Amino acid sequence: MRQMLRVDMTNLTVGLEPVPEEWSRYGGRALTDAIVYREVPADADPLGPANVLVFSPGLLGGTTTPNGGRLSVGAKSPLTGGIKESNSGGQAAHALARIGLAGVVVTGAQADKAARYLLVIEADLSARLERVDAWAGLGNYEVADKIAALRPEGDRYATISVGPAGEALARAAGIAVSDPKGYPNRFAGRGGLGAVMGSKGLKGIVISDKGAKSREPANKEEFVAATRRFSAALKEHAVSGTGLPMYGTNVLTNILSEAGGLPTRNFARGTFEFADAIGGETQRATIVERSGAEGVNDSHGCHSGCVIKCSRYWMDKDGHYKTKGPEYETAWSFGADCEIKDLDEIAELDRACGDLGLDTIEMGATLAVYMDSGAIPFGDAAGALEALRAGLDANDPRRIIWDGAEATGLAFDVARIPVVKHQALPAYDPRAVQGMGVTYATSTMGADHTAGYTVTANILNVGGTVDPLQPAGQAELSKNLQIATAMLDSLGFCIFVAFPVLDIPEAFAAIHEMTESFTGDKWDAGALMQLGREVLTMERLYNEKAGFTEADDRLPKFFQTDELPPHNVVFTVSDEELDTVFDFVPETARQMGLQ
Amino acid sequence: MNIDLALFAYLSQYQPDGLGGRHARAMTFAPGTCISEVISELGLPDQPRVIFLNGKHAEESVVLGEGDRLAIFPPVAGG
Residues 6+ apart with CB under 8 A from A69: A57, A61, A62, A89, A91, A93, A94, A303, A304, A305, A306, A492, A494
**Closest-CA residue in chain A for B72?**
A255
Chain B CB within 8 Å of residue A567 CB = yes
Can you give the pLDDT at residue B21? 64
Asked if the model's pLDDT at residue B40 lies above 80, the reply is: yes
Q: Where are the alpha helices (DSSP H) in A373-460?
A: 381-389, 405-411, 434-442, 455
Cα dihedral value A192, A102, A249, A164, nearest 10: 30
Asked if the model's pLDDT at residue A172 lies above 90, the reply is: yes
Distance between CA A162 and CA A183 in Å, rounded? 13
Q: What amino acid occupies position A16?
A: L
Can you give the pLDDT at residue A117? 98
Cross-chain Cβ contact B76/A328 below 8 Å: no
Cross-chain Cβ contact A459/B74 below 8 Å: no
User: pTM above the 0.95 mark?
Assistant: yes
Asked if the model's pLDDT at residue B25 lies above 90, the reply is: no
Q: Residue A286 to residues A150, A345, A349, A409: CA-CA distances in angstroms?
A: 36, 14, 18, 35
pLDDT digits (tens, 9 = 90+) for A189-227: 999 999 999 999 999 999 999 999 999 999 999 999 999
Cross-chain Cβ contact A247/B9 below 8 Å: yes
Q: Summarize the confidence of residues B20-48 as an average pLDDT.
A: 88
Q: What amino acid occupies position A330?
A: T
Q: Identify which of B6, B56, B75 has the shortest CB distance to residue A243.
A: B75
Distance between CA A188 and CA A181 in Å, rounded? 18
Residues 6+ apart with CB under 8 A from A563: A431, A569, A570
Among A234, A236, A258, A308, most B C-beta atoms within 10 A, so best to mutate, is A258
Catalogue the E-assigned strands of A372-469.
419-420, 423-424
Of the candidates A257, A253, A270, A254, the residue with the CA atom closest to the CA atom of residue A562: A270
Cross-chain Cβ contact A281/B12 below 8 Å: yes
Cross-chain Cβ contact A244/B77 below 8 Å: yes
Q: What amino acid occupies position A404?
A: G
Cross-chain Cβ contact B75/A247 below 8 Å: no
For A323-369, give the DSSP string: EE---HHHIIIIIITTT---HHHHHHHHHHHHHHTB-HHHHHHHHHH
Q: Which 3-state string (H, E, C) describes B5-69?
A: EEECHHHHHHCCCCCCCCCCEEEECCCCCEHHHHHHHHCCCCCCCEEEECCEECCCCCECCCCCE
What is the distance in angstroms between the Cα of A315 and the nearest Cα belonging to chain B? 21
Q: Which of 305-324 (A) contact B at CB < 8 A?
A: 310
Asked if the model's pLDDT at residue B4 lies above 70, the reply is: yes
What is the distance in angstroms between the Cα of A119 and the nearest Cα belonging to chain B? 32
From chain A, pick out residues whose CB is under 8 angstroms from the CB of B12: 281
Chain B residues contacting A via beta carbons under 8 Å:
6, 8-10, 12, 21-23, 47-48, 50, 52, 55-57, 71, 73-79
Residues 6+ apart with CB under 8 A from A232: none
pLDDT digits (tens, 9 = 90+) for A265-295: 999 999 999 999 999 999 999 999 999 999 9
pLDDT digits (tens, 9 = 90+) for A312-367: 999 999 999 999 999 999 999 999 999 999 999 999 999 999 999 999 999 999 99
What is the distance in angstroms between the Cα of B29 and the nearest Cα belonging to chain A? 22
**Residue A125 C-alpha from the chain's centroid:** 27
Q: Identify which of B55, B77, B79 has the shortest CB distance to residue A258.
A: B55
Q: Summarize the confidence of residues A573-585 as an average pLDDT.
A: 98
Of the candidates A410, A413, A390, A411, the residue with the CA atom closest to the CA atom of residue A402: A390
pLDDT digits (tens, 9 = 90+) for A38-86: 999 999 999 999 999 999 999 999 999 999 999 999 999 999 999 999 9
What is the distance in angstroms between the Cα of A238 and the nearest Cα belonging to chain B? 6
Judged on CB neighbours under 10 Å (0-12, 13-18, 19+), A557 is: exposed
Distance between CA A51 and CA A198 in Å, rounded? 12
Chain B CB within 8 Å of residue A238 CB = yes
pLDDT digits (tens, 9 = 90+) for A436-466: 999 999 999 999 999 999 999 999 988 889 9
Can you give the pLDDT at residue A242? 92
Confidence bin at B20 (pLDDT 50/70/90): low
Confidence bin at B16 (pLDDT 50/70/90): confident
pLDDT digits (tens, 9 = 90+) for A134-156: 999 999 999 999 999 999 999 99
Q: In this predicted complex, what is the ipTM?
A: 0.95
Asked if the model's pLDDT at residue B48 lies above 90, the reply is: no
Judged on CB neighbours under 10 Å (0-12, 13-18, 19+), A156 is: middle
Mean pLDDT (chain A, rounded): 97
Cross-chain Cβ contact B55/A310 below 8 Å: no
Q: Which of 269-298 (A) contact B at CB < 8 A?
A: 271, 276, 279-281
pLDDT digits (tens, 9 = 90+) for A21-41: 999 999 999 999 999 999 999
Q: Summarize the confidence of residues A467-492 as an average pLDDT.
A: 98
Count CB pairs under 8 A between chains A and B: 100
Can you give the pLDDT at residue B34? 97
Q: Summarize the confidence of residues B49-66 as an average pLDDT.
A: 96
Of the candidates A300, A306, A340, the residue with the CA atom closest to the CA atom of residue A324: A300
Asked if the model's pLDDT at residue A508 lies above 80, the reply is: yes
- Tell me the percentage of chain A whose pLDDT exceeds 70: 100
From chain B, pick out residues whose CB is under 8 angstroms from the CB of A467: 57
pLDDT digits (tens, 9 = 90+) for A356-412: 999 999 999 999 999 999 999 999 999 999 999 999 999 999 999 999 999 999 999
